[in-house]
């Protein structure tokens, strides 16, 4: 339940999908309200597409429940489909048909969509001028915009967007993110998947870090504090065990490892404690060649989260 | 009502795709005519140059005797006319090649197009039901296939007129012929389309998929072989039985196709 007291438009509990022996999504529980964007952030094969397909009623969950726009996706997909817009990973448009005809065709599966609605949609995604052109000649960004117009043509309340900006150039990606932000303002409940951390940060109200399981779900700000600890890499002139020992048990050192001449240290408060660390090292006789600060790559964060979860289970 | 609208929506786009593609448009229009023309030329050549000698040869003797037994009214006809009749009576069977080939081509074309454009996933996210999608596609293939066969049948009658064989018409347009045209042809068209639907997702390209057409051509050729060598004569009863058998196979194939066409399988297996 949100602060406003409205029921979430998307809600899952223990959602699980197995393909034979392969566990693609495990025990996923999440909720999204109107006017909210939830980002499913995860690497390739993390189960993002599978999750969105289950929510869209395209594939059936192995176990667990879901409610999307008031419907159970596995029970009444046709009613559900009136209420949701789905943007698949690849646009899936007919290259030999015009932009207008493509949109008309997909609109033909819904009730009461007329020419003026098609026109408005084409204008909204900036393709009205190109409406009679075959989309085979369109750029990736234009196709993706048309696919978004298709997902919106019946004015759904829930939007499921599978990697909406993947493979787009920066400009096209920005345009699409702009459109998605507008849709949030219109009060749609949006779930989008991405493997792009900055995108998730800038676009989403909440981020669900997924890797088959849900590893963490929070606002970008809270996640940043949890995940984005920085690591300092100190390059020594020669291996120095003593220097390592002098710092490894300091209260502000969360973790430290030495690997030849490289000393990697994770600090709890890098801004204030980095000078102290260096002073301690020098006092212990370390000859420092360089100090670099490393942000964790997303991949490392996942692994880190996975390890932590595995540890926690033990 | 809503179903009809969605089926119609599918049907129209399928035809748009087919008739926009020059190859497939030519295929649907020219191939049936070629099949018919080639058959008629063979009939004419055999009757014209072979004549009496062929008509009384041991090759066709049993078959002609069987035909005479099935159609006693042919009693007064001379030998060459009997040969013509024997050959002409193969044509309703031969024309089954038209629905078989056209429908399977449409099915493979349609499925491969969706597979290549990856358009099935967004379609499955709309309110369309799987059976509507399947029926829309099946109609888009079966209707032109059946129509092409009927046009060929019309051309055959016209051809007999041109050859001034009108006096034989009554023994060609028999109950068997009408059964072949109005019962067996739709049944074969549907079967062929369903086989195309079943096989296409597994085929790497349209060539491989259309090789499946061979599967359905073989039994048609076998039917002709059986009749022309005098093993049996396809009386109306027998023709009806064959049609019903194909309809039963149709129903089994439909169940199989619907099973294979489950949403999950499409998205999973067709990657
Ligand atoms: N239809 C399917 N059949 C079998 N395995 C699948 C299928 N779809 C996805 N998978 C597997 O499930 C896992 C999650 O895939 P997916 O949901 O596509 O991940 P993502 O979208 O995050 O890259 C992967 O290991 C993938 O190979
Ligand atoms: Mg994916």
Highest mean pLDDT among A20-29, A278-287, B166-175: A20-29
Average pLDDT on B51-74 reads: 82
Distance between B159 CA and the closest CA of chain A, angstroms: 39
**Amino acid A230: pLDDT:** 66
Centre of ligand 2 to C-alpha A46, Å, is: 8
pTM of the model: 0.81
Is pLDDT above 90 for A125?
Answer: yes
d(CA A73, CA A52): 11
CA A56 to chain B, closest CA, distance in angstroms equals 6
User: Who lines ligand 1 at CB under 6 A?
Assistant: A 19, 22, 24, 42, 44-50; B 268
Which of A300, A278, A295, A296 is CA-nearest to residue A287? Answer: A278
- For residues B173 and B153, give the distance between their C-alpha atoms in angstroms, rounded to a whole number: 10
Taking only the tens place, the pLDDT of each residue in A51-73 is: 999 999 999 999 999 999 999 99
CB contact under 8 A, B9 and A109: yes
Check CB contact of B25 with chain A, cutoff 8 Å: no
Atom of ligand 1 nearest to the CA of A51: 17
For the stretch A177-188, pLDDT in tens is 999 999 999 999
Instruction: Report the distance separating Cα B140 and Cα B196, nearest Å.
Output: 13
Using the beta-carbon criterion (under 8 Å), do A106 and B122 form an inter-chain contact? yes
Distant-in-sequence, close-in-space partners of A171: CB < 8 Å, separation ≥ 6: A141
Q: What is the pLDDT of residue A49?
A: 96
- State phi, psi for B5 to the nearest 5 degrees: -65, -45
| Residue range A43-49: mean pLDDT, rounded | 92
Q: Is the separation of the CB atoms in B214 and B49 below 8 Å?
A: no
Give me the phi and psi of A281, to 5 degrees please: -60, -45
Q: For chain A, what is the mean pLDDT?
A: 89
Q: Are A30 and A48 in contact (CB under 8 A)?
A: no
What is the DSSP-derived secondary structure letter of residue A157? S
Q: Closest Cα partner for B148 from B176, B170, B179, B181?
A: B181
Q: What is the DSSP string of A255-310?
A: EEEEETTEEEEEESSHHHHHHHHHHHHHHTT--EEEEEEEEPPHHHHHHHHHHHHH
Residue from B201, B262, B268, B269 whose mutation best tests the ligand 1 pocket (most atoms within 8 A of CB): B268
* Amino acid A313: pLDDT: 52
CB neighbour list of residue B225: distance below 8 Å, 6 or more residues apart = none
**Residues in contact with B97: Cβ distance below 8 Å, sequence separation at least 6, in sequence order:** B35, B217, B220
Which pLDDT value is given to residue A55? 96
Q: Would you say residue B152 has pLDDT above 60? A: yes
By Cβ distance, the residue of B113, B120, B127 closest to A81 is B127
pLDDT band at A220 (very low <50, low <70, confident <90, very high): confident
Residue B270 or residue B227, greater confidence: B227
Instruction: Quickly state the pLDDT bin for A99 (edges 50, 70, 90).
Output: very high
pLDDT beyond 70 at B211: yes
Q: What is the pLDDT of residue A1?
A: 40
In this predicted structure, the answer to whether residue B103 has a pLDDT above a threshold of 80 is yes
pLDDT average, residue stretch B106-121: 86
What is the 3-class SS of chain B, one letter each residue? CHHHHHHHHHHHHHHHHHHHCHHHHHHHHHHHHHHHHHHHHHHHHHHHHHHHHHHCCHHHHHHHHHHHHHCHHHHHCCHHHHHHHHHHCCHHHHCCHHHHHHHHHHHHHHHHHHHHHCCHHHHHCCCCCHHHHHHHHHHHHHHHHHHHHHHHHHHHHHHHHHCCCHHHHHHHCCHHHHHHHHHHHHHHHHHHHHHHHHHHHHCCCHHHHHCHHHHHHHHHHHHHHHHHCCCCCCCHHHHHHHHHHHHHHHHHHHHHHHHHCCHHHHHHHCC
- Give CA separation, B238 vs B95, B234, B266, in Å: 18, 5, 39
What DSSP string runs through A128-153?
STTTTSBGGGS-HHHHHHHHHHHHHT
Higher-confidence residue: B105 or A213?
A: A213
| Cα–Cα distance, A77 to B252 (Å, whole number) | 26
- List Cβ neighbours of A21 (8 Å cut-off, separation of 6 or more): none
User: Region B146-170: what's the mean pLDDT?
Assistant: 89
Measured CA to CA, the distance from residue B65 to residue B17 in angstroms comes to 49
pLDDT of residue A2: 40
Contact between chains at B122 and A147 (C-beta distance less than 8 A): yes
The pLDDT value recorded for residue B206 is 65
pLDDT digits (tens, 9 = 90+) for A278-302: 999 999 888 999 988 776 555 566 5
Question: Residue A3 pLDDT > 50, yes or no?
Answer: no
Q: Please give the pLDDT value at position B213.
A: 62
């Amino acid at each position: 339940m949100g602060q406003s007291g409205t029921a979430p438009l998307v809600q899952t509990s223990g959602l699980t999908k197995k393909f034979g022996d392969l566990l693609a999504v495990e025990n996923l529980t999440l909720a999204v309200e109107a006017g909210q964007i939830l980002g499913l952030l995860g690497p390739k094969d993390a189960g993002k597409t599978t999750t969105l397909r289950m929510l869209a009623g395209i594939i059936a969950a192995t176990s667990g429940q879901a409610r999307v726009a008031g419907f159970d996706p596995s029970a009444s997909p046709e009613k559900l489909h009136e209420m949701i817009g789905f943007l698949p990973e690849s646009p899936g448009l007919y290259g030999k048909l015009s932009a207008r005809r493509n949109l008309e065709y997909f609109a033909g599966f819904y009730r009461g969509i007329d020419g003026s609605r098609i026109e408005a949609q084409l204008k909204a995604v900036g393709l009205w001028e190109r409406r009679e052109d075959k989309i085979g000649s369109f750029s990736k960004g234009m196709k993706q915009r048309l696919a978004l117009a298709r997902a919106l043509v019946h004015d759904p309340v829930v939007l499921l967007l599978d990697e909406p900006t993947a493979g787009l150039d920066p400009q096209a990606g920005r345009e699409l993110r702009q459109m998605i932000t507008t849709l949030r303002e219109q009060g749609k409940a949006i779930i989008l998947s991405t493997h792009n951390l900055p995108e998730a940060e800038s676009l989403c109200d909440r981020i669900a870090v997924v890797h088959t399981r849900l590893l963490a779900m929070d606002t970008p700000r809270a996640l940043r504090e949890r995940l984005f600890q920085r690591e300092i890499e100190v390059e020594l002139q020669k291996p120095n065990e003593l220097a390592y020992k002098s710092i490894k048990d300091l209260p502000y050192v969360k973790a430290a490892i030495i690997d030849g001449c490289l000393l990697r240290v994770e600090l709890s408060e890098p801004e204030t404690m980095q000078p102290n660390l260096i002073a301690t090292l020098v006092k212990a006789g370390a000859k420092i060649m360089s100090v670099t600060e490393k942000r964790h790559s997303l991949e490392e964060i996942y692994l880190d989260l996975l390890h932590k979860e595995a540890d926690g289970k033990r | 009502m809503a179903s009809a609208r969605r089926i119609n929506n599918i049907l129209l786009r399928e035809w748009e795709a087919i008739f926009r593609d020059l190859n497939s448009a030519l295929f649907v229009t020219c191939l049936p005519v070629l099949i018919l023309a080639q058959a008629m030329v063979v009939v004419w050549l055999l009757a014209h140059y072979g004549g009496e000698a062929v008509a009384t040869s041991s090759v066709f003797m049993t078959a002609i005797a069987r035909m005479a037994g099935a159609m006693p009214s042919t009693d007064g006809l001379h030998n060459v006319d009997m040969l013509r009749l024997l050959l002409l009576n193969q044509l309703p069977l031969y024309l089954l090649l038209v629905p078989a080939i056209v429908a399977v081509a449409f099915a493979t074309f349609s499925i491969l197009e969706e597979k290549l454009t990856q358009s099935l996933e967004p379609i499955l996210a709309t309110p369309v039901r799987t059976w509507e999608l399947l029926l829309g596609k099946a109609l888009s293939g079966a209707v032109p296939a059946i129509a092409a066969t009927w046009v060929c049948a019309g051309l055959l009658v016209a051809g007999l007129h041109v050859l001034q064989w009108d006096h034989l018409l009554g023994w060609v347009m028999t109950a068997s012929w009408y059964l072949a045209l109005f019962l067996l042809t739709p049944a074969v068209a549907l079967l062929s389309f369903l086989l195309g639907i079943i096989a296409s997702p597994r085929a790497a390209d349209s060539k491989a998929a259309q090789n499946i057409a061979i599967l359905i051509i073989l039994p048609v050729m076998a039917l002709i072989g059986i009749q022309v060598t005098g093993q049996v004569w396809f009386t109306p009863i027998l023709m009806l039985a064959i049609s019903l058998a194909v309809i039963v196979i149709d129903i089994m194939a439909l169940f199989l196709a619907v099973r294979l066409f489950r949403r999950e399988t499409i998205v999973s297996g067709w990657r």
